[in-house]
Structure 1
Amino acid sequence: MKQEKLEQDCYYHIYNRGINGGPIFKSNENKSYFLKLINKYLSNKVSILAYCLMDNHYHMAIQVLEEEKMVTQAFSNLFNAYAKAFNKMHNRTGSLFEKHFRRIKIGDTNYLRNLIIYINTNPESHGVTEDYKTFKYSSFQTTISDSNDTVLMPIAKEEVINLFEDIENFEYLHEQKRSLGLDKLNWD
């Protein structure tokens, strides 16, 4: 299957999981390192609107800022660097991720808002936490936080809040996620 092109100025859902559904993150140290690599390889090439790192998969909502070839190469460098480090740390060899990273182009603002909510609430949907608001490795806390003290990875906070009109609506719509039918989406 041919991969969707990453067109400049367009929004995408980027996601993947571990090979055979296996873990791609075995510790918080792995997750923090992955976020560090995202900053290293993707900053100024994409704008991150939302992210969530689960043990066996990840999700990102991004806007492409640079030309497709540069962004695709940056993602490739990110995933290769992480896989090499993960394999070395956990004394393993071979592929870590299932196929190439997947991407879905986001065609409208409503879909983008729903995707951000889906990504931020993913840990609760998967039963990893009872309250998505407390999950450390998603963008929810960064979006609602007034300070940068606990920020693991910078996101396009102002753009995200503007998509939802204001912070109160952002939080309200996250709480209403099931009435929006988001639990019916199956991207994992």
Structure 2
Amino acid sequence: MQPEKLYHIYNHANGNENLFKETENYNYFLGQWSKYIEPIANTLAYCLMPNHFHALVLMKRQEEVEATFGKFRTFQKFKVLNHN
């Protein structure tokens, strides 16, 4: 994800399953969202439904994220393994 870009984040449960079965499930999800997403992105809109969710987020500026977490290291490139 890139700083200062908009993203539509969504997920859907498998088959006829529900992600959210009780009010506590919604509250837990929003608590986790606040813990992990809010430090790096501003949530512009969201919709939670029993079997899926949508969110529109604006990623924060790199400087804002680094002020909270420090500088990020980039992931090393994956090595290609050949099985001959």
TM-score, normalization: structure 1?
0.32
Q: Which has the larger radius of gyration?
A: 2
Task: For 1:27, give the aligned amino acid.
Answer: E
Q: Match of 2:10?
A: 15
TM-superposed deviation, 1:21: 4.2
Higher helix share: 1
Unpaired runs of 5+ residues, structure 1, are 1-5, 71-188
CA RMSD between the two structures: 1.7
Higher strand share: 2
Task: For 1:60, give the aligned amino acid.
Answer: A
2:32 to 37, 43, 49: 37
TM-superposed deviation, 1:42: 1.3
Runs of 4+ in 1 over 6 A off after TM superposition: none
Task: For 2:55, give the aligned amino acid.
Answer: M
Residue 63 to residue 28, structure 1, CA distance change in 2 (3 Å): same
Count of residues paired in the alignment: 63
Residue 8 to residue 25, structure 1, CA distance change in 2 (3 Å): same
Q: Does structure 1 residue 26 correspond to structure 2 residue 21?
A: yes
Q: Match of 1:96?
A: none
Q: Match of 1:53?
A: 48
Unpaired runs of 5+ residues, structure 2, are 66-84
TM-superposed deviation, 1:66: 5.7
Residue 21 to residue 9, structure 1, CA distance change in 2 (3 Å): farther
Tell me, what secondary structure is at the counterpart of 2:15?
A: helix
Tell me, what secondary structure is at the counterpart of 2:19?
A: coil
TM-score, normalization: structure 2?
0.68
TM-superposed deviation, 1:27: 0.7
Tell me, what secondary structure is at the counterpart of 1:32?
A: helix
Partners of 2:61 and 2:55 in 1: CA distance: 17
Partners of 1:13 and 1:41 in 2: CA distance: 16
Matches within 5 A, 1:98-113: none
Percent identity among equivalent residues?
Answer: 37
